[in-house]
Amino acid sequence: MESTLRLQSLVFVTALLLVVLSQAPPAAQSGAPSPPAASPKLAGYKRDLAVDIDSMKEFTQQMVDSVFSFGELGFQEVETSRYLTGILKQNGFRIEQPVAGIPTAWTATWGTGKPVIALGSDVDCIPQASQKPGVAYHDPIIEGAPGHGEGHNSGMPMNVTAALALKRLMEREHIAGTIVLWPGIAEELLATKAYFVRAGVFKDADVVLFAHVGSNLGVGWGDSAGTGLVSVEYSFKGESAHAAAAPWRGRSALDAVELMDVGWNFRREHLRPQQRSHYVISNGGDQPNVVPPNATVWYYFRELDYEHIKDLWDIGNRMSKAAAMMTDTEASMRVLGSAWPAHMNKVVAETMYANIKGVGLPKWSADDEKLAVALQHELKVPEVGLAKEIQPLRGKEKLADNEKGFGGSDDIGDVSWNVPTVTLNYPANFEAGPGHNWANGVAMATPIAHKGVTAGAKVQAMTALDLMMRPELVTQAWDYFKNVQTKDRKYVPLIRPDDKPAIWLNEQVMAKYRPEMQKYYYDPTKYRTYLEQLGIKYPTVR
Ligand SMILES: [Zn+2]
């Protein structure tokens, strides 16, 4: 999620306030006919999955640490994709790449027939978030370089572990079904999942089990408390001139950008409080003595639903034209990404939640706890350590606008309006950082991440197995999707028919840092862990 760990606590608090929590067993909450209780055979298979996934701990740790060390920004996930598809190919999965015209996007498929269960998670990282893992203060591996300050290095390794264990069990017991793995590419740019939907990546999927790093094991259903958005770039074209000798002959594109931004910041007071909007000037000219003939400003317009997102976007479009008129420049606009506000499936969430309770939280060591508390102390946030208790199942079919309190967005929303979907949160991190920050990377190649991913993999695999062995769950999930979720609201993509994935983004930044970063790629043939390779004592605290 292009978001922070705070999301979970906010959603959690919201859920608590709404008193929508229930102690009833999952089947009793769905309103649908109660499914037959899970058979002893299914319970036995789940135990086998757990044992198998525990036996893969070292393999899981190597994947988590490797992807952490690649630290690739959105659309540039070259090493990450090569590495993960390599493992899957070796294990008999059929790889398709590229997907939807996106070079680093792929799917990996194994199995035959129904149901088709699609396991996804994001893989891109955050600009300037380079950080040594296991160190409880800011200490970059490479100053200024990108890094996994959102924890996206852990989700696909978790899905790979889950898928390999599931595949072995399906082979052994001749269980029908298809597993599809797919990475969320450029999620921090909200830039691909609408294109995946448009390209038909999910057209055969029965259920999508998405996953996002968090500070606890958890899942929810219904309206998300977050926003959707459209990511739009406005470019202005003027005329250069000697800024001192003949400024009257110039038309400054940067003036247009600044006037648009000033206009937006005045307008902000008169927008709904639910909106979030922010911008960066991605091109502000070359040097002061040349009147900038080209300039670009990049906006994220966030709101709670499709209509309000479109409203913000329209205001932005008008403002860009007004700024162009004021400066006698020309404005153009292009879409770089989009995300629908998510709505998660009740039946699948309840099924997953039963497995969450069965798996439980990892056993944290004294060192794990020490790292968490030290970083919390460093950042002056409550020193609560690691998660000790599983959160209740959270969910409500429709949240009113004033019940939504979280600004972040995630383009899994687009998927959730096309196929029954849930997002598993797994405890590979802890509450501390503000999100999109070096601090959110501290735990991400440590035993905390490794244990959290192992726990999450069990939940993913067991939930997929439930869906394969209890077809009535898939039927009920689609019943909720068709007759509840999409009854009054139909998906209309925010991307327009001619929009294309912005695959050029981050190319230059990665080209700048990659050569230096390559020296720090994790080598599991030489080192047991990435911490060992970097020579970091775990934990390192002040
Ligand atoms: Zn994320």
Tens of pLDDT, residues 271-330:
999 999 999 999 999 999 999 999 999 999 999 999 999 999 999 999 999 999 999 999
Q: Is the pLDDT of residue 24 over 70?
A: no
**What is the pLDDT, as a whole number, of residue 488?**
94
pLDDT tens across 146-190, in order?
A: 999 999 999 999 999 999 999 999 999 999 999 999 999 999 999
pLDDT tens across 38-76, in order?
A: 699 999 999 999 999 999 999 999 999 999 999 999 999
pTM of the model: 0.93
**What is the pLDDT, as a whole number, of residue 375?**
98
pLDDT tens across 363-380, in order?
A: 999 999 999 999 999 999
**325 CA to middle of ligand 1, Å?**
39
**157 CA to middle of ligand 1, Å?**
15
Cβ neighbour number for residue 165 with a 10 Å cutoff: 26
| pLDDT average, residue stretch 23-30 | 39
**Cα(first)–Cα(last) distance of the chain, in Å?**
30
- Please tell me the total number of residues recorded for the chain in this structure: 542
Phi/psi class of residue 100: alpha, beta or left (left: φ > 0; alpha: ψ in -120 to 50)? left
Q: Tell me which residues have their CB within 5 A of the ion that is ligand 1.
A: 1, 150
**What is the pLDDT, as a whole number, of residue 16?**
35
pLDDT tens across 240-266, in order?
A: 999 999 999 999 999 999 999 999 999
Per the structure block, which two tokens stand in for 119?
């396991």
**103 CA to middle of ligand 1, Å?**
20
**188 CA to middle of ligand 1, Å?**
7
**What is the pLDDT, as a whole number, of residue 402?**
85
285 backbone dihedrals φ, ψ, rounded to 5°: 105, 180
Tell me, what amino acid is at 381? Answer: V
What contacts 429, CB < 8 A, 6 or more positions away?
5, 151, 213, 214, 215, 440, 443, 444, 448, 449, 452
User: Which ranges constitute the DSSP H helices of 101-179?
Assistant: 155-173
**516 CA to middle of ligand 1, Å?**
25
**202 CA to middle of ligand 1, Å?**
20
**453 CA to middle of ligand 1, Å?**
15
**344 CA to middle of ligand 1, Å?**
16
Percentage of residues in the chain having pLDDT higher than 70: 93
Q: Is the pLDDT of residue 232 over 50?
A: yes
**34 CA to middle of ligand 1, Å?**
34
**96 CA to middle of ligand 1, Å?**
24
**163 CA to middle of ligand 1, Å?**
21
Q: Is the pLDDT of residue 12 over 50?
A: no
**145 CA to middle of ligand 1, Å?**
18
- Give the SS3 label for residue 287: coil
Residue 203 and residue 416 in contact, taking contact as beta carbons nearer than 8 Å: no
Phi/psi class of residue 535: alpha, beta or left (left: φ > 0; alpha: ψ in -120 to 50)? left
**314 CA to middle of ligand 1, Å?**
27
**192 CA to middle of ligand 1, Å?**
13
**What is the pLDDT, as a whole number, of residue 91?**
98
**187 CA to middle of ligand 1, Å?**
7
Residue closest to 68 by CA, chosen among 2, 132, 163, 144: 132
Query: H or E segment at 495?
Result: none
**What is the pLDDT, as a whole number, of residue 37?**
57
Q: Is the pLDDT of residue 36 over 90?
A: no
**493 CA to middle of ligand 1, Å?**
21
For the chain, what is the mean pLDDT?
Answer: 94
Residue 434 and residue 4 in contact, taking contact as beta carbons nearer than 8 Å: yes
**67 CA to middle of ligand 1, Å?**
15
**What is the pLDDT, as a whole number, of residue 404?**
86
Q: Per the omega criterion (within 30 degrees of 0), is the bond before 115 cis?
A: yes
- Measured over the CA atoms of residue 301, residue 306, residue 312 and residue 313, the dihedral's sign is positive
Of 1-10, 328-337, 527-536, the one with minimum mean pLDDT is 1-10
**What is the pLDDT, as a whole number, of residue 26?**
41
**What is the pLDDT, as a whole number, of residue 8?**
44
**148 CA to middle of ligand 1, Å?**
10
Buried b / exposed e along 407-445 (16+ C-beta atoms within 10 A)? bbbbbbbbbbbbbbbbbbbbbbbbbbbebbbbbbbbbbb
**339 CA to middle of ligand 1, Å?**
13
Q: How far apart are CA 2 and CA 347, in angstroms?
A: 25
User: Which ranges constitute the DSSP H helices of 360-402?
Assistant: 366-378
Q: Is the pLDDT of residue 509 over 90?
A: yes
**411 CA to middle of ligand 1, Å?**
10
- Give the SS3 label for residue 210: strand
**412 CA to middle of ligand 1, Å?**
10
Residue 20 and residue 394 in contact, taking contact as beta carbons nearer than 8 Å: yes
Q: Is the pLDDT of residue 7 over 50?
A: no
**450 CA to middle of ligand 1, Å?**
18
**121 CA to middle of ligand 1, Å?**
9
**104 CA to middle of ligand 1, Å?**
17
pLDDT tens across 65-105, in order?
A: 999 999 999 999 999 999 999 999 999 999 999 999 999 99
**What is the pLDDT, as a whole number, of residue 130?**
98
Percentage of residues in the chain having pLDDT higher than 90: 91
**What is the pLDDT, as a whole number, of residue 151?**
98
**What is the pLDDT, as a whole number, of residue 2?**
57
Q: Is the pLDDT of residue 5 over 70?
A: no
Q: How far apart are CA 197 and CA 418, in angstroms?
A: 8
| pLDDT average, residue stretch 228-235 | 98
CA 356 to chain centre: 20
- Sheet containing 294-303: order of strands: 276-283, 294-303, 228-237, 330-339
Phi/psi class of residue 117: alpha, beta or left (left: φ > 0; alpha: ψ in -120 to 50)? beta
Q: How far apart are CA 444 and CA 71, in angstroms?
A: 11
